[in-house]
Structures are given as structure tokens and as C-alpha cells.
Structure 1
């Protein structure tokens, strides 16, 4: 049986030679290879599109995650900044109080050193009261009160801010 190489009906079937074995026509083999290559290329392109789409989806998910994380971090930073400003304001008040109390303590120490270093004349008296120290006649340091052996004690109001 001899077959025609130009026939379209035999394009997909093997042709027979005189030896009885099956052999394909060279055009038919190239056509088949082209089809296989085309199918392989289409499948490769499809896989490539799928990889690109998966990569794009992964990037979108990562963007969403990072955007949410950025929002959480921004909120945390804002809260920390507010706490920082509150603590800074409180520190400023405390520094002012320390300065005032240090000044008061320094003044009281000066007064105590003056009181301890002076020899009092009978007509002078020192009165330590709620508003500080003043020189007075006939006060707690008068002649009648000179027998008191305890040193004067500053009132708690003097030390309060």
C-alpha cells in the first residue's frame, strides 16, 4: 500500500513504505513538533501568567498587612508622644518645685546659721512662725522664754509648696 505525501487525510497518520514498517513524512514530523512546541509554549505562558498573578496577589496581601501594621505603629507612636509630653510637662513642674524648695531650704539654712551664730541681745527676739522669720521684741525669744532648750522648729506650712 502506497500513500500520498501531499494528502491532507494522511497528515496525522503514519505512512507505510514498501518495507511494511511505519515511517512518518518529514513535513508531518515538523508539523507535529511545531504543534507540540506551540502547546508547550502556551502551557508555559499560562504557568507564567499564573505565577505573575500569584506574585501580584502575594504583594497585595503583603501591602495590606504592612498598611495595617503601619497604622498600628502610627497609633502607638502617637500614644507614646502624648505620654512623653505629659511626662515632660510633669517633669517641668517638678523641676520648678525643686528649684523653689531648694531656694527655701537655702534661705532656711541661712536663717539657722544666723540664729546659731548670733548672740541675742535682750531687746531682740526672733519669731519663727507660719510666714517665716521676723525680729520681734517680747516674742518667743524674750527674757522669759530664754530657758527653752529646744531649738525652734519650722512649721510644716513653710516646707509645703
Structure 2
């Protein structure tokens, strides 16, 4: 991943400072996405300021999307392509007539202004819903992010 993301994330050396290594930026981002730890917690784990982490996570996520979009987020468009997806589920998992595995996740957010209870979920916090479909090879042909947390992930 580091090799693939280096052209997107590599910063220039300046007289004032050395840029963060791409591997470190990726590690911080993946740790944040996997655990949901706060920037303050991550700053102690990785020895990077919380203010820097807040900027680099956004940059790294955009880089991951641009680098892997064509490879991973490819939704079938024809009937034959959907039949291929079902055939892979059958051959790999012995699960017939399946077009994808779907799941949702509530992502914690700060309450948006004037949002009322739209983003307040049944778990007791404000969130947006990430819903994703994966194929038999763990690739994501479809991802939706941003539905209000007040609607359950199952409803999304």
C-alpha cells in the first residue's frame, strides 16, 4: 500500500521540516479507521501531533480512494457481470445465488447544528451510517456513507 500511495502522499522536503513518511501516515490512518481512537490517543501512539493527524487522515483517505477506486470499487453493470459475481460466491464459499454480503456501521460524529434527532441513533450517540457490499473476493463494489444515524444501518 505504501508504494501505491507514495505518489499521492509524498510531500516535499523544506528547510523548516522533514515531511512525515508515507508509511507513518498510512499507519496512523489505518489505525484510526480500524479503532476509532481519538487524535489525542493516536498522537501518543505514533508521536505525531493531534493537529497534524487531523489533516493527514483526510489526505490519506482521499489518496486511498483515488489509488484504489478502479481496483476495488467496481460495481457490475451487466447481467453477465452479476452472474459472474454469483458464480464466484458459489465456487469460493459454496453459497449459491448470492450477489454480495451487506453490512452497516454507525460512525460517530459531533451533532450537526440544527439537526435535531436525525443523527441520534438507537445506540445513544450521533452518527452517520456507512453501508457496504462486498463480493466473494472481499472487494467493495458498492459503498454508501452519510445516511443519518437516526435511520438504522439495517434501514439504510
Q: In terms of Rg, which structure is larger?
A: 1
Q: TM-score, normalised by structure 1?
A: 0.19
Q: Which structure is higher in RCO with an 8 Å CA cutoff and minimum separation 6? A: 2
Q: TM-score, normalised by structure 2?
A: 0.20
